[in-house]
Amino acid sequence: MTTTEFRTTAPHERGTPGYRRLGAALWCSGLATFVLVYSVQGLLPTLADRFGLSSSTASLALSATTGTLALAVLPLSAVVESWGRVRVMTWALGASAVLAVLAPLSPTFEVLLVVRALQGITLAALPALSMAHLTHEVSPRHLGGAMGLMIAGNTLGGLTGRLVAGTVADVAGWRAGLAAVGVVSVGAAVAFRMLLPPATAPAPSHTRLRDLGGPLRRHLRDPGLLCLFGIAFLLMGSFVSVYNYLGFRLLGPPFLLPGTVVGLIFLGYLAGSGASTTAGRLGDRFGRRRVLWVSVLTAIAGVWITAPDSLVTIVVGLLLVTVGFFGAHSVASSWVGRRSALLDGGVPAQASSLYLLGYYAGSSAGGAAGGLAFDGFGWLGLVVYVSALLAAALVLALVLRRVRAAV
């Protein structure tokens, strides 16, 4: 082992300046990522009306980004990690912000889909590298709380992107809405680079695509990781479906709400911000399995509460879905990195990439399938569809009881 392979300083402990700077920087990274990826979710009814599309076709503006992100996340994050996590995360945020500035210039819906697909590629390495960076830089006993803080940034990013894009679009059109998102993403990228402390752990040695096979097989043979990857797919497919199509429901009868009011449904994300941090810390303290089960059950209860045509029950149910999703996601994502780190031959960055492949594939494929359920059978059809996904996630969470409790 050469001297360059040794850790320069001890991993960050909670309460230290380095921990706070790292948490704030990756909070900005999560915010920027989710601003860019999910800003169009608040514009789906507007895009459907502007281009004469069905709700499921309009949702391709979101699926194009999450689909290419899912396809590219594993090879890109594995190969580019050896270039330096800090450097790659900075470039990924910068390139994605440039595309965000170009997106409002799209002359047709098809061109917009191409730009959105390119954003998925530029963002592909960022989420996995962020999760791997936390795994290497934070003391293991504080990892759950740190991961929860990063996911809280994801939550606020999702909220900010939807509210900014939707609110500005109501006043000045969808192009202005996307332009405002571009400005937010540039600011978040700059803040990320200024806040991020120097790495305490060295970059791994150079990795080639053909070197991925061994660690990939080891990860895919571990039953615990397989369950967590499946849970990521099912959770995200259900969550995106609810938020994708609830706006269409509220714009139509019997509610007929104005677009600005409908955009306020995304304030429900604030509940997820607190839930992710709290769930991460509870998982560290009381066990990930217990917190994961409770979170999934909370989401199942919430989606059924949205079924009646009542704004009160819809809001309550949406909050429960959001809390349940972010609680489960916070626990599962931190669990993946730790389990891989203790697995013989495990590579946390690759395990995080596999988790995110499932996560964004769920967003793309699960969200698109949710549109077919909504177009064909209305909101009740969507509730049944989402419930089926969450029930499957609960089964996988229960299967984890039989898995060797390595971490």
4 located within any domain: no
Which residues span the domain enclosing 315? 11-402
Tokens found for residue 352:
């995080």
Q: pLDDT tens digit string along 24-63?
A: 887 888 778 888 888 898 899 999 999 999 998 999 999 9
List 138's β-bridge partners, or say none.
Answer: 12
| Interatomic CA distance for residues 300 and 390, integer angstroms | 6
Return the ∠ at Cα 247 (arms to 245 and 252), rounded to 5°: 105
For the chain, how many structural domains are there in total?
A: 1
362 located within any domain: yes
Identify whether the C-beta of residue 242 lies closer than 8 Å to the C-beta of residue 321.
Answer: yes
Identify whether the C-beta of residue 407 lies closer than 8 Å to the C-beta of residue 245.
Answer: no
118 located within any domain: yes
83 located within any domain: yes
Cβ partners under 8 Å of residue 47, min gap 6: 40, 53, 58, 61, 109, 174
Residue 12 or 229, more confident: 229
Task: Give the domain CATH number at 284.
Answer: 1.20.1250.20
Q: pLDDT tens digit string along 165-195?
A: 888 888 888 999 999 999 988 898 889 888 8
Q: pLDDT tens digit string along 308-355?
A: 999 999 999 999 999 999 889 888 887 887 777 677 666 676 787 788
pLDDT surpassing 80 at residue 17: no
Terminal alpha carbon distance of the chain:
27
Question: What pTM was computed for the model?
Answer: 0.80
| 266 pLDDT tier (thresholds 50, 70, 90) | confident
274 located within any domain: yes
352 located within any domain: yes
Backbone CA torsion sign across 89, 91, 94, 96: negative
3 located within any domain: no
Using the structure block, give the residue that is written with the tokens 């999450």: 66
6 located within any domain: no
| 208 pLDDT tier (thresholds 50, 70, 90) | low
